Structure 1
Amino acid sequence: MNRLIRAGLMFGNLFHVHSPALVERYNRALHHLTGQRTKLSDFYVDISGYSPEVGDELGDPLYLNHKGVNRQFILLSVDQRTAPLLNTQFSTSKAILQEFIAENEAALFALTAKDAVAGELVNSVYDVSDPKRLFDIRRITIDADTTGGTVKDASKLAEMVDQFRDTDDGWYDDVLIAEMISLAGKTGDVVRNPVKLKSMSFDQRNFWTAHFGGLYVFQDVEHPAVIASESKEDLGDIPMEYVFDTSQRNRIAQFFRLNGLTETILEARGIKSAAILRQKLDFVLIDAVAGQGADLSDLSRGDLRRLARQHADKLPPEFHTLGQLVNWAENGGAFPSIDSDDPVYFYTLRAADTPDAELVNMLLAQLAPKDIRQLFICHKDLFYETYAGWPEAKKAYVADFLEREYQVDKAGVRDALFGHEPALEAPPLPRKRKKPPPVPDRIAAVGPWGAVKRR
């Protein structure tokens, strides 16, 4: 993992807590939330204020997320909004924290100038030892204040100011005036500079959770289902009619199709589908030859062709099918017949333009794990887990590729792979270039891969 850390691919963009003032504020918030303190004078935190170093010191990687639910957070600066979320238990948590910071940026900037803001992502469930409890999580509400209670005091002071103004003899209420002066010393002038955090709640109907080996829960779609990373039999009786696991590829493909959650890379507008397919082809090749003692450093296109020739007997079926797709896209070759039983099927999909695109791309990354770029972007926890078991040659190749091809333009890569361009009313005329071959007529009738087979 040190190779990933050095390349900024792991624990990157964390917020550095190094000044005595920040450490003290962190400790006040930590004690406020958990009753514990850290003796460290220098550490890094993620968007939620979780620190791997503090977790090691306390012997508890979930010290801000007891039992993996109702995640607590510590904000020392609005700059934490660009940090990742570590030890993710629910896929929605990072987006919720980012929106909370964005919506309250001015107030948080003022509050964190003197104190830490401590809070919690609150729902009605405190224990998910039974899978059925996951379906009781419907709404997440944010509860936050400084460790000194500045927001609460400011709200109380605002009420007292209103009382003072609305009462005819307010000027003669010495007790009220004394309390107002005392609170104003803590909060400042709440009339000119209101100190208030917006009350925010979020629905949580479609999400991924790390509990029970990893579950994808889709409740708010036309045809709801749960997809388990491990055997669905281990889940027992849960309140969902359709439960699949990742070995049921045909059922998952049908689920995607019925809910309109995916589109093929070949159909997607505004992307260079042939280039993306060729890159996926390279990733499958690297996976196949990495354990064969091949040199994977500084590979050119000719080197990749040489490796494919030398290790032709080791190449998996998806390599050959992807090769046929690339040949079709680039040279007008025959269009291969692909259905959901084919190992390459999910490599050719991306999320459609829906509110659940990130969740769908996360599931697709798990279903097509040899695409190391998509796995890293869409499902980092699974990426780190699988990375640990790769041969050293593949680890070096992947770290170098991601540092060189992804780190330099994260937004551009994400947009090229997963973005959705709005439809153009009058597209500009293209310059002279080779037209891609037409998609076979049968695709328009039954979809890009033919009818989804039922078992």
Structure 2
Amino acid sequence: MMRLVRHGLMYGNLVEVSSPSMVGRYNRALEHLTGKQTDLKEFHIDISGFSPEIGDEFDDPLYLNPNGCNRQFILLNVAQKTAPLLNAHFSTSRSILRRFIEDNEEQLFALSIRDAVVGELVNTIFSIRTPLDLFDIRTIDVEADTVGGHVEAGDELTDKIQRFMTEPDGWWDDVLIAEMVELSKHTGDIIRTPIALQPQSFEQGNFYTSHYGGLYVFRNVKRTACISRQHLEADDLPVKHILTLQNRREIASFLSRNKLVEPVFEADKRRAESILRQKLDFIVIDTAATRGEDLSDVSRRDLRALKRKHHRDLPDEYHDLERVVRQLVKGERLPRITPEDPAFFYLLRSRHHADKQLVNMLLSELTPLDFRQLFICNKDSFYTQYQSWSDAKKTFAARFLSEEYVVDKVGTRTELFGPEPGMSGEDEDNNFRTEQNMGPWGAIPRDDDEDDDDDEDDD
């Protein structure tokens, strides 16, 4: 894994904490939340204030996330907003934290000059005992204050100022005035520099969770589903379909009938040809690495030689995609590929909607040989799979990602997945019509248990 760290592909963009004053401030916040302190003199933190070094020191990667369902956070600096979120149990947690920081950036900046800001992403449950408990999480409330309680004191001072200004005898209330003076010593001038944080609540709609081996929960769609990595012992979930990643036909039908995906070649066939050729290269690399080839300095010419050498050994995904690319180049009708074919999901990407990142994350699990999409959309799964790869594939993947992706992350994501959805989550491209998103080659056959009554809402 150190190869990934050296290339900036793991633990990248964390915030360094090295000055004695900031370490001391972090320790006060840590003791306030957990009753513990670190002996480390320098470490790095993510957007929530979690430090992988301190996690190792405590032998507890969940020291800020007890039970994995109410994430606590420590903000030393608003610069944390661009850092990643490590050990995330819910796909929505990082976006909620970033939105909270951005919406309160001025107040948080003023507060963090004095003290660390601590808080929690609060939902209605405190532990997850069954998969059904996940469906009780509907909203996430963000609660925050400094270790010294500046926000609470500011709210109290605001109330007393209001009393002082409105009560008839407020001007002569010596006790009230004395209390205001004492509070102002703690809060500073809240008239010129307000320190109130706006209460915020975020809806937990469709999401991924790492609980129970990994679950994709789609409940804010017309035809609801829960898709798990492994068989789930639960038949009481409030969704229409309970699927595993092996239910390829059912997943394809679910994605299509909810209009969540489109073929990669729908918008620009020339760009799609380039994307698919790269996917072919990744499959070749996997096969060549398995057969002991040296991939330390592979050129385009070397890749062509590897394709010729191992052509018969390449998996079905390769041969199906190769036929599609060949027909794209000729401008002829594309060969028909069904959900049962290994290459099917390699030809899809998410449409432009609020759950675009979540859908692309799911697709990355269905296309594991495309290590680039896996890294971009699903880093935890990438790190897990990376450990089982040969050294040759690890070397190639690390070099490719550092040279081809890290140097232009935004451009690569735009090329692969199209523009990011707006904050409203509205579909902003009128060119995506319903009939264009039924599947790469037209409508995907309905499941046997679905009939015309499915045109009504399932919820």
Instruction: Give the TM-score normalised by the residue count of structure 1.
Output: 0.93
- Aligned residue for 1:44, secondary structure, equals strand
Give SS of 1:244's match.
strand
Tell me if structure 2 keeps the 8 A contact 1:269–1:420.
no
- Given the alignment of the two structures, is residue 240 of structure 1 paired with residue 232 of structure 2, yes or no? no
| CA 1:47–1:446: 2 relative to 1, 3 Å | closer
Give the partner amino acid of 1:144. A
Code of the residue aligned with 1:17 in structure 2: it is: V
Note if 1:448 corresponds to 2:447: no
- The CA deviation at 1:410 is 0.7
Matches within 5 A, 1:92-131: 92-131=92-131
1:18-29 mapped onto 2 (5 Å cutoff): 18-29=18-29
1:134 CA displacement: 0.5
Provide closer, same or farther for how the CA distance between residues 402 and 334 of structure 1 changes in structure 2, counting only shifts above 3 A: same
The change in CA–CA distance for 1:424 and 1:135 in structure 2 (over 3 A counts) is: closer
Q: 1:130 to 1:323 in 2, by over 3 A?
A: same
Q: In the alignment, is residue 196 of structure 1 matched against residue 196 of structure 2?
A: yes
Structure 1 residues 446 and 140: CA distance shift in structure 2, 3 A: closer
Is contact 2:256-2:438 (8 Å) kept? no
The equivalences for 1:264-283 within 5 A come to 264-269=263-268, 272-283=271-282
Give the distance between the partners of 1:79 and 1:332, measured in 2 at CA.
Answer: 49
2:214 is matched with 214
Measure how far apart 1:168 and its partner are.
Answer: 2.6
Letter in 2 for 1:305: R
CA distance in 2, matches of 1:130, 1:307: 48
Deviations 1:285-324 (A, max 9, x none): 1111111111213322221111011112210011011111
2:382 is aligned to 383
Do the aligned residues in 2 keep the contact of 1:118 with 1:147 (CA within 8 Å)? Answer: yes
TM-score by length of 2: 0.92
**1:370 equivalent in structure 2:** 369
* Contact 1:324 1:334 (8 Å CA) reproduced: no
Cα RMSD of the aligned pairs, angstroms, is 1.8
Shift in Å at residue 446 of structure 1? Answer: 6.8
Residue of structure 2 equivalent to 1:398: 397
Deviation per CA, 1:144-200: give whole Å up to 9, x if none: 000000000001101111111112322211111111111111111111211111111
Q: Structure 2: state its 5+ residue gaps.
A: 421-427, 449-459
Contact kept in structure 1, 2:261 and 2:349, CA below 8 Å? yes
SS in 1 for 2:113: coil
One-letter amino acid matched to 2:444:
V
The alignment status of 1:317 with 2:316, answered yes or no, reads yes
The aligned residue for residue 349 of structure 2 is 350
Q: Give distance in 2, aligned partners of 1:31 and 1:184.
A: 26
Decide which moves more: 234-243 or 158-167.
234-243
In structure 2, the CA distance between the partners of 1:228 and 1:40, relative to structure 1 (3 Å rule), is same
Structure 1: gaps spanning 5 or more residues: 426-442
Q: How far is 1:424 from its partner?
A: 9.0
Task: State the alpha-carbon separation in 2 of the partners of residues 273 and 312 from structure 1.
Answer: 22
Amino acid at match of 1:288: T
Pick closer, same or farther for the CA change 1:446–1:87 going to 2, 3 Å: closer
Aligned AA for 2:264? I
Alignment of 1:258-269 (within 5 A): 258-269=257-268
Distance 2:106 2:199 in 1: 15
Query: CA–CA distance in 1 between the matches of 2:317 and 2:85?
Result: 33
* Secondary structure at the counterpart of residue 400 of structure 1: helix
Query: What's the counterpart of residue 167 of structure 1?
Result: 167
How far apart in 2 are the matches of 1:210 and 1:33? 24
Q: In structure 2, the residue corresponding to 1:235 is in which secondary structure?
A: coil
Mapping 1:415-430, distance limit 5 Å: 415-420=414-419
Cα distance in structure 2, aligned partners of 1:403 and 1:411: 14
Change (3 A) 1:409 1:153: same
Q: Which moved more, 1:351-360 or 1:266-275?
A: 266-275
Give distance in 2, aligned partners of 1:36 and 1:60.
12
Distance change >3 Å, CA 446–CA 215, structure 1 → 2 = closer
- Greater displacement, 181-190 / 394-403: 181-190
Change in Cα spacing, 1:252 to 1:90, as seen in structure 2 (3 Å) is same
The code of the aligned residue for 1:281 comes to L
In the TM superposition, 1:264-343 aligns within 5 A as 264-269=263-268, 272-332=271-331, 335-343=334-342
Contact kept in structure 2, 1:281 and 1:323, CA below 8 Å: yes
Instruction: Name the counterpart of 2:455.
Output: none
Which has the larger displacement, 341-350 or 168-177? 168-177
Q: State the SS of the aligned residue for 1:50.
A: coil
CA contact (8 A) 2:262 2:436 kept: no
Find the residue that maps to 1:220 and give its secondary structure.
coil
**What is the percentage of aligned positions where both structures have the same residue?**
51
1:284 and 1:370 in contact (8 A); partners too: yes
Give the whole-Å Cα distance in 2 for the aligned partners of 1:197 and 1:419: 35
Alignment of 1:26-65 (within 5 A): 26-65=26-65
Tell me if structure 2 keeps the 8 A contact 1:48–1:97.
yes
Tell me the distance in 1 between the aligned counterparts of 2:387 and 2:9.
14
| Shift in Å, 1:340 | 0.7
Task: Find the aligned partners of 2:178 and 2:29 in 1 and give their Cα distance.
Answer: 29
Q: Helix, strand or coil for the counterpart of 2:207?
A: strand
